[in-house]
Structure 1
Amino acid sequence: MDTSIQAAIGSIRQQIAKAEQEFERGEGSVTLLAVSKTRPAEDIQAAFDAGQRCFGENYVDEAVKKIDQLAHLPIEWHCIGPLQSNKTRHVAGRFDWFHALDRLKIAERLNAQRPAELAPLNVCIQINLDDEASKSGIQPADAETFIASLQHLKRLKVRGLMVIPKPRDTFEAQRAALAHIRELQQRLSARFALDTLSMGMTDDMRAAIAEGSTMVRVGTAIFGARNYATP
């Protein structure tokens, strides 16, 4: 086992547990999603051996190869990056979660292509919190209408929201920004059965947990610097 990965996972889990206690969240209420994009299957195996079960991938072609390599392991696979129409069949058939839904066309394709023998695909709606042109996601004001438009797609299960906020320098600023997503989630939950808030990465994880995140996405702090030369 790669002991550095094992130690990193232990450290992150301790940080999560500390934040859960600090902000009066239930013990175990926050799931650690290990972001394994560009990492080899051996690193995922090492994390699995350390007790990690949920892994996030951005690049579908790369992910499918690793899913095949690790098919003998009971891993929960999450696609967390933007999705092109020509890749939907892979996500529908090979993943358990999709975190970046922001187009009805993609939703309809995922719904039609989800194999009947599998449970509905869990999806999160990506919200463009800071109105950044460089990022995917829908505007907060459009979230309710968009989720309503998905209700007839029975092979999808809308679980909640996902956000990638722009960096902020202080904990207070991070928390103030993420509070808007928490409030949006609460409003939407009055109409839809939402239970997931995919929010928080290494640098803003504590603020995200303070504001209700149920799933934090951590990559570099677990696996080290990414190697983009060999995705």
Structure 2
Amino acid sequence: MKNIACTLASVLVLAQPSSALAQASCSSDGTPQPVAIFERFISADCEACWTDAAIPSPSATAGAVVLDWIVPGQAGDEAPLSAAATNDALARLQALGRTPPAATDVYTAAVEGARPARLRVAHGLPLNDYLGTAIAFTPARRDGAAPDGMAFYLLLVESVPAGTEGTRVGRNMVRNMLHGTWDKRNTLSNSKQTKWMESRSMRIPDGAQPERLRMVGWVQDAQGRVVAAAQSACR
């Protein structure tokens, strides 16, 4: 029953929020689109990688969204950062054609899509350790026919402030991931313009603080180029 409730909540947050609904959801509405995605992959074995203040950062890429993935380590559950490690990090590395790092690995991708392509991400309020989440993408009108084979990523991210959880810098720790592919069969048939949507409930992992959670999402074309990105904010 709780999954059904969260799924219904995620359907609601896909819509443009009314003033009442805005109080119960957070979205990317009115938030500038990130210009790049900067991903840091940290081995769960490397505690020093988490506590070190001299970490890779997108200082030369203003407007980038930064993500911190904790990758399961060789020590398994005994690794210092194992509590925050996720198999989603392994899946993301595999998609990038990279192997798990012994310390830290970094990957950066620019957002190259033509505007006014639009991506929207949103989430509702926590319910029984779950969040209703949603992602919706509308390509630029001048793209003509609906593109095929669009991959989407929707991440549940916990913003960890500097000076907490053992980190000396602010982190955006990836807590959960939804990944899939849209093709022409998935477009909304009643839409005047090509559009894709996905709504799911996501579990809030043990130890995550719900008030720190937000959504980060992006869409890639068949060549792997990021064509749109978005991140939610609670206003």
Instruction: Please confirm whether the aligned pair reaches a TM-score higher than 0.5, indicating the same fold.
Output: no
- Per residue, is there more strand in 1 or in 2? 2
Looking at secondary structure, tell me which structure has more helix per residue: 1
TM-score scaled by length of structure 2: 0.30
TM-score by length of 1: 0.30
Query: Which has the higher relative contact order, 1 or 2, with Cα contacts under 8 A spaced 6 or more apart?
Result: 2
